[in-house]
Amino acid sequence: MELFHRTAHELAELLRRKELSAVELCDAVLGRIEAVEPRVRAYVTVMADVAREQAKAVDARRAAGEDLPPLAGIPLAVKDNMCTVDAPTTCSSKVLEHFVAPYDATVVARARQAGCVFTGKTNLDEFAMGSSTENSAFFTTCNPWDLERAPGGSSGGSAAATAAGEAIIALGSDTGGSIRQPASFCSLVGLKPTYGRVSRYGLVAFASSLDQIGPLTKDVRDTALLMNLLAGHDPMDSTSADRPVPDLTELLGRDIRGIRIGVPKEFFAEGTDPEVANAVHAAIRQLESLGAIVGEASTPTVSYGLPTYYIIAPSEASSNLARFDGVRYGHRTSKPVADNVELYEQSRAESFGPEVQRRIMIGTYALSAGYYDAYYLKAQKVRTLLKRDFDKVFEQFDIIAWPTSPCLPFRFGERGDPLSMYMADVCTIPVNMVGIPAVSLPCGFSSGGLPIGIQLGASYFEEPKLLQVAYAYEQSAGFHARRAPLGASCGGEA
C-alpha cells in the first residue's frame, strides 16, 4: 500500500523505527496532492514549504535522540476555519479571503507542538454553513469515491483530503454533523467530541453553543491518537471542560460483551434510504454477535431537532458574524458610501454567499423584538426536552446506534432546495443540540459502491467507551481498509 493510504499509527511506527523519515512521508503526501488535487480540490491553501520545514525539524529531533510524541511527522490537514499564523484563514468566504490570523488556534498550536506536519487548509462550506461544500465561495470539493458527488459538509475538504491520500489525518469542526456526515460520505472515521472536551479557541465561530472540533481519520485508532492530542482544558476557552483526559487508546481491543446498545427507532423514519437502513441494521447485528446487548430505544422529541436547530444555529450565527463589518478586518467595499451603515451593508452584501445571508436573516428575525419568545426562547426549551430524552436513554443503554446520514452521497446540484439539504443532517443535529459525543464509521457500501456510515453515540465524556465499541465493530467488519478509487472527472464547479 502507498504511504499516503496508510494510517497514522502504521506510519508512526515506521517513523519510530527509523524505517521511514518524516521528509520522505511528507514528500509522498505532497506528491499525492500534486497528482490528484486538480480533480479532488480539497485544499484552499497547500502549505508545501511549511510542511517540508516541519518534516525536516521532526527528523532532526529524532536524529538527536529526542523522544517524540506519537503523531510527530504525520501529515495533517486543517479545516480552513481554524486560525493559523503561517497560512490564511478564509472560512471559504470572500469576507476573509486574504486574512492571516495573528495567532494559532489551540488545536493547531497543540498539533504544531506535537510535531504534526501541516499539509494545508481545507475547503468547507462558507463559515461551515452547509452539507456538501457547494457553499464554498471558491470551488466545490469532490468526493474521492465518486467525483461527481459531494464529499459532505461542511468539513468536506478535510474528509476528501484524507480519503484521497492528500493527508493522513485531518481536523474538522462539527456544528450539526459537519465532521460525521463527511466521514460517512467518504468512508472515514469522524468524531464529534463532547461539547467542551476540545478547545474552540481560534475556531471562527458559527454557532458557539454547538461548534466542536474533532478528528477525521482512516480508522478508530488514529481517531483516538489525534483526540489524545486535541482534548483537554484550555483557559482561553470559557466553555472548555476542566476535567482529566484519559488515554483514548487504552480500551481499544477490549471485549464489548455486555455493553448495552440502544437503537432509537425515530432515526429510521420514512425517508431513510433502504440501502443505508439495511447496512446500519447489519452493523448492529454484527455488534450483537460480538456480545453487545441490543435493544430498542426511543427519543420522542428528536423529530423537533431539525427545526429547533435551524432557529438556534442561525440566531447564534447572526450574532457571531456581525463582527464582519468591513471596518476592522476582512472584505471592505471599494464603492463610495454615504455613511457607516451603507459601508456595513455594501461590504456584507458583496462578500457573504447566499446560504450565509439566508441564515443571518433567519437568525436576526428569530432574535428580533416581538419574535424572540416565540422562536428562540421556545427553541431553547425544546432543546432541554431533547436533552432529557437522551438522558433517559443513557439510563438504560451505554451506547446508541443509528445512521449517520439518511441518504447516500448525493450528486452536485441534486439538493438545490435548502430544505432538502437541511434534511441531510437530520440524524446528526440532535447530538450537537444535547452536547454528547458521537462517532461515524464505515459500515458498508451501496450497490453502486458508495460509502455508508453508522453513527454511535455515548453519554457525556464517555469517548473511551464509545471508541472501544467503534473499534470492536471496525476490526470485525473491515470496511475501513478499503480506499477510494478516485475516478477521472469532477463536477460541481462553484
For residue 164, which of 187, 148, 191 has the smallest C-alpha distance? 187
Q: Which of 189, 69, 49 has the alpha carbon at shortest distance from 119? A: 49
Q: Are strands 117-122 and 75-79 parallel, antiparallel or unpaired?
A: parallel
Task: Determine whether 381 is an active site residue.
Answer: no
Q: Which three cell numbers stand for residue 24?
A: 520522505
Which residue in the list 178, 187, 199, 315 is annotated as catalytic? 178
What is the distance between the alpha carbons of residues 255 and 251, in angstroms, rounded to a whole number? 9
Q: How far apart are CA 35 and CA 3, in angstroms?
A: 14
Q: Which of 79, 192, 218, 465 is catalytic?
A: 79
CA 330 to chain centre: 25
**Which three cell numbers, joined as nine digits, stand for 214?**
474533532
DSSP 397: -
- Is 154 part of the annotated catalytic residue set? yes
Instruction: Identify each DSSP E strand in 218-298 by its residue range.
Output: 260-264, 293-297
Residues with Cβ within 8 Å of residue 184, at least 6 apart in sequence: 152, 190, 404, 405, 440, 442, 451, 452, 453, 455
**Any idea what DSSP says for residue 301?**
G
Residue 122 phi/psi, 5-degree rounding, is: -100, 155
* C-alpha of 107 from chain center: 14
Residue 34 CB neighbours (<10 A): 12
In angstroms, the Cα distances linking 63 to 16, 22, 457 are 11, 11, 42
| Catalytic entry in 132, 154, 187, 347 | 154
Exposure b/e, 442-478, CB count within 10 A at least 16 = b: bbbbbeeebbbbbbbbbbbbbbbbbbbbbbbbbeebe
Does the annotation mark 131 as catalytic? no
Specify the 3-state DSSP secondary structure of 9. Answer: helix
Torsional class of 375: left (φ above 0), alpha (ψ -120 to 50), beta (otherwise):
alpha
Q: Which residues pair with 422 in a beta bridge?
A: none
Hey, which residues are catalytic here? 79, 154, 178
